[in-house]
């Protein structure tokens, strides 16, 4: 009840800071240990270039697994927060239980892909046998033991929906620390542990994810007392599942589009393995910045959804105002970091032949971060106000409709020798600015049709 009262009564600017800081730190830490993972692999004694390329190629599938888990969690988060705002604890229990049922189904699909589909996927992006071998080994481990990341994503959103974002951050921090500690031990072979190379990086990753999931499960069972916990609530309920995915499916598609975008960009850049690797490395730095916006979005969505459930126009408008303001501040900081320290990031990854491409990508693409962050905030607002279609359209514009045709067209000039690879990187700022303009128009329409019409 205290958490519900906080969601109802605390000033929105303070509530967003209180909920947002743990989520931002959580997402930033996740991005940091992705960077650290690549840094350890990039400094292997042999095969580091091939290993970095392999991690670039497996990244879209890792993102896709996270997309489905987080997207299901986003739908659960918004629906659970709204249901609690309406005071319906029985339905809240069904929402939580059905989300865990869906998690089990998602894991089975990932497991089957890990067993049967990994090698064909890696081989579609490269012909280098060393890269194929490393990528297959890494991705198979991540898929077969993917239950950690899937259930972590779900329990994280269940805790965030009730205002307990601090505990989701604790789980994230513990898992990240475990991963970072195990990385050098298992990659390089320290003490009794044999040197495992990229396999060691994969095992360190999944062990950290499993630890996080177990810890968040304990927090969920002990702290989320606003609704019952019982296996009977895991019985599939078609109505609940439809409601979860009415909100969550656009988020899944949005995250999945990121995977598709990275995969197609890898194909576009296939003419230059160094440029391909540089883009993969930069994407992890970009994640660090955009994950700050994602973390704040995870505070924006339940705050506005709860306010929408209780029909408070003032709190909804405050949520929109402060959500956009805080996002812009975070993105300005992110642009400053990436523009000032590109060389230091290149040295961290031991980028080698990819260094020049990497620095060029960082200088140009980081210009888009402010607009990209605003687009992420827009999507969190749309999801909270039942604007799943608007969220989907913004995702399609950002990660498919504009970016990929532009990058493909620019690549023809690059391959023809008329201009450098840097032309391809300009597709990103052009895309984000265009999507931001469309997003603003959507926000005005949603405010007029949904918020202003509340009693």
Closest CA to 62 of 35, 101, 34: 34
Q: 435: phi > 0 → left, psi -120 to 50 → alpha, else beta; which?
A: alpha
Closest CA to 118 of 81, 146, 147: 146
Which of 188, 214, 236 marks a domain boundary?
236
Angle at which helix 89-116 crosses helix 238-268, to 10 degrees, equals 40
Residues 188, 318 within the same domain: no
Residues 83, 206 within the same domain: yes
Residues 281, 409 within the same domain: yes
Q: Where do we find the tokens 């909920």?
A: 19
**Which pTM value belongs to this model?**
0.75
Q: What is the DSSP letter of 235?
A: S
Residues 395, 432 within the same domain: yes
Q: How far apart are CA 38 and CA 49, in angstroms?
A: 11
Which of 236, 261, 296 marks a domain boundary?
236
| Residue 167, in any domain of the structure | yes
- Low-confidence spans in the chain with pLDDT less than 50: 1
Domain region containing 436: 249-454
Residues 191, 264 within the same domain: no
Residues 317, 396 within the same domain: yes
Q: How far is CA 84 from the centre of its chain?
A: 25
Helix (H, G, I), strand (E, B) or coil at 44: coil
Residues 181, 289 within the same domain: no
Tokens of 389: 């279609």
Residue 140, pLDDT score? 97
Burial class (CB in 10 A: 0-12, 13-18, 19+), 446: buried
Q: How far apart are CA 442 and CA 382, in angstroms?
A: 9
| Residue 56, in any domain of the structure | yes
Residue 247, pLDDT score? 81
Residue 1, pLDDT score? 46
| Residue 141, in any domain of the structure | yes
Residues 190, 339 within the same domain: no
Tokens of 51: 């290993």
Tell me how many domains the chain contains.
2
| Residue 75, in any domain of the structure | yes
Residue 418, pLDDT score? 55
Which of 236, 263, 297 marks a domain boundary?
236
Annotate 132-172 with DSSP letters as a single string: HHHHHHHHHHHHHTTHHHHHHHHHHHHHHHTT-HHHHHHHH
Residues 292, 406 within the same domain: yes
**Cβ partners under 8 Å of residue 80, min gap 6:** 92, 95, 96, 158, 161, 162
| Residue 242, in any domain of the structure | no
| Residue 243, in any domain of the structure | no
Residues 363, 429 within the same domain: yes
Q: What is the DSSP letter of 237?
A: -
CB 423 within 8 A of CB 410: yes
Residues 17, 125 within the same domain: yes
Residue 403, pLDDT score? 94
Angle at which helix 369-384 crosses helix 313-340, to 10 degrees, equals 160
Helix (H, G, I), strand (E, B) or coil at 179: helix
Q: How far apart are CA 191 and CA 188, in angstroms?
A: 10
Residues 446, 358 within the same domain: yes
| Residue 334, in any domain of the structure | yes
| Residue 241, in any domain of the structure | no
Q: What is the CA radius of gyration of the chain?
A: 21
């Amino acid at each position: 009840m205290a958490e519900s009262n906080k969601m109802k009564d605390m000033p929105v600017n303070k509530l967003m800071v209180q909920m947002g800081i743990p989520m931002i730190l959580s997402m930033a830490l996740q991005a940091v240990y992705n960077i650290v993972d690549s840094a350890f692999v990039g400094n292997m004694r042999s095969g580091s270039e091939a290993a970095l390329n392999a991690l670039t190629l497996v990244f879209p599938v890792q993102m896709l697994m996270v997309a489905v888990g987080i997207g299901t969690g986003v739908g659960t988060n918004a629906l659970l927060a709204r249901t609690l705002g309406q005071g319906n604890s029985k339905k809240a229990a069904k929402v939580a239980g059905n989300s865990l049922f869906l998690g089990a189904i998602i894991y089975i699909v990932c497991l089957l892909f890990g067993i049967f589909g990994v090698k064909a996927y890696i081989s579609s992006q490269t012909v280098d046998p060393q890269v194929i071998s490393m990528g297959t080994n890494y991705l198979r481990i991540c898929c077969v033991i993917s239950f950690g990341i899937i259930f972590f994503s779900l329990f994280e959103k269940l805790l965030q929906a009730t205002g307990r974002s601090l505990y989701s951050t604790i789980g994230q921090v513990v898992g990240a620390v475990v991963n970072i500690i195990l990385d050098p031990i298992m990659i390089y072979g320290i003490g009794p542990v044999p040197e495992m190379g990229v396999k060691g990086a994969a095992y360190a990753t999944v062990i950290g994810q499993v630890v996080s999931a177990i810890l968040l499960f304990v927090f969920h069972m002990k702290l989320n007392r606003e609704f019952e916990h019982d296996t009977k609530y895991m019985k599939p309920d078609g109505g609940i599942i439809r409601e979860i995915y009415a909100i969550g499916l656009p988020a899944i598609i949005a995250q999945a589009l990121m995977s598709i975008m990275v995969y197609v960009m890898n194909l576009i850049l296939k003419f230059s393995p160094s440029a391909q690797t540089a883009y993969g490395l930069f994407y992890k730095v970009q994640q660090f910045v955009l994950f700050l916006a994602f973390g704040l979005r995870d505070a924006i969505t339940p705050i506005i959804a709860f306010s929408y459930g209780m029909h408070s126009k003032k709190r909804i408008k405050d949520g929109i105002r402060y959500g956009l303001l805080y996002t812009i501040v975070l993105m300005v900081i992110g642009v400053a970091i990436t523009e000032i320290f590109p060389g230091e990031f290149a040295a961290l990854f031991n980028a080698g032949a990819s260094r020049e491409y990497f620095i060029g990508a960082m200088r140009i693409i980081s210009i888009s971060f402010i607009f990209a962050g605003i687009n992420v905030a827009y999507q969190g607002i749309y999801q909270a106000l039942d604007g799943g279609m608007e969220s989907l359209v913004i995702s399609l514009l950002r990660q498919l409709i504009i970016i990929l045709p532009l990058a493909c067209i620019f690549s023809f000039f690059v391959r023809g020798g008329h201009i450098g690879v840097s032309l391809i990187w300009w597709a990103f700022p052009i895309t984000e600015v265009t999507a931001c303009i469309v997003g603003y128009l959507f926000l005005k329409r949603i405010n007029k049709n949904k918020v202003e019409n509340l009693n």
